[in-house]
Amino acid sequence: MEPYYSDDHVTIYHGDCREILPDLGRVDLVLTDPPYGINYVSNSGVGKGTTPITNDGARLSLRLYRDVLRVLQADHVLWFTRWDAWPDVWVDLGMWFPMRGLLVWDKASPGMGDLKHWGPSYELIASAGVGQIVGPRDGSVLRYPTVPSHGRLHPTEKPVEMLSHLIAKLDAGTVLDPFMGSGTTLRAAKDLGRKAIGVEIEERYCEIAAKRLGQEVLDFGGAA
């Protein structure tokens, strides 16, 4: 299994994570933003006019989750999800890991959805496993602005500062993102001096992530 990219802190694999995960071994933390099952196609900014995100259909995503969860080896899992997907995520995660609760990402501004209804300005993160936080006992609401659409490398890119906070709070020495996208989880881990592995099925995002990870480490921080 040859990496697409590798350095002293991170390794990227290009392929289907269901085929790659069984060979990776155990990690401290899985921090991932999988396809939500909503057939996402952006109508503006990054992704406009593109095909839907791979495996992003409700039934496809649920099958994908179940295949992935059964082969994950981790002390803790932080799994991004939406309001209309989290019940299934909760059940599926709970089959393999002890459920610990939900975190709420307060994005401050509304995201995609029905334009004649309240705009969803939050996302949910299911927390499962045996990991323990370090430092002060923070609340479960995370307040970070979204990545501006003109600066995104991926349609559903998350802010690196938020992912750095989550990695540091769980004091994770090794981090895995099986749905890596543009590599934000790996960038956050590398900036903290942690080891990270990413898997991505679309080669164009592997290329983007490799370029991001090839940059100098920005900061080595502790728990926040």
- Which of 2-16, 25-39, 169-183, 209-223 has the least mean pLDDT? 209-223
220 lies in a domain? Answer: no
Can you give the pLDDT at residue 224? 37
- For residue 214, is pLDDT > 70? yes
- What is the C-alpha to C-alpha distance for residues 131 and 100, in angstroms, rounded to an integer? 9
Can you give the pLDDT at residue 139? 95
Q: Residue 215 is which amino acid?
A: Q
174 lies in a domain? Answer: yes
Distances (CA, A) of 23 to 2, 93, 197: 12, 21, 12
222 lies in a domain? Answer: no
Residue 196's pLDDT band (boundaries 50, 70, 90)?
A: very high
For the chain, the domain total comes to 1
Can you point out the beta strands (E) in the chain? Answer: 5-6, 10-14, 27-32, 74-81, 99-106, 122-129, 141-143, 174-177, 195-200
- For residue 71, is pLDDT > 50? yes
- For residue 138, is pLDDT > 80? yes
Name the maximum alpha-carbon separation found in the chain.
49
145 lies in a domain? Answer: yes
CB 81 within 8 A of CB 123: yes
219 lies in a domain? Answer: no
48 lies in a domain? Answer: yes
Q: pTM for the full model?
A: 0.85
- What is the C-alpha to C-alpha distance for residues 55 and 38, in angstroms, rounded to an integer? 10
148 lies in a domain? Answer: yes
Can you give the pLDDT at residue 28? 98
Number of helices and strands in the chain (H, E): 6, 9
Residue 43's pLDDT band (boundaries 50, 70, 90)?
A: very low
CATH number, residue 30: 3.40.50.150
Q: Which domain holds residue 40?
A: 5-213
- What is the C-alpha to C-alpha distance for residues 60 and 110, in angstroms, rounded to an integer? 26
Q: Is the dihedral of CA 120, 175, 25, 179 positive or negative?
A: positive
223 lies in a domain? Answer: no
Can you give the pLDDT at residue 40? 39
Write 58-65 long-range contacts (CB < 8 A, 24+): 58/85, 60/35, 61/34, 61/35, 61/36, 61/37, 61/85, 62/37, 62/88, 62/92, 64/18, 64/34, 64/35, 65/34, 65/89, 65/92
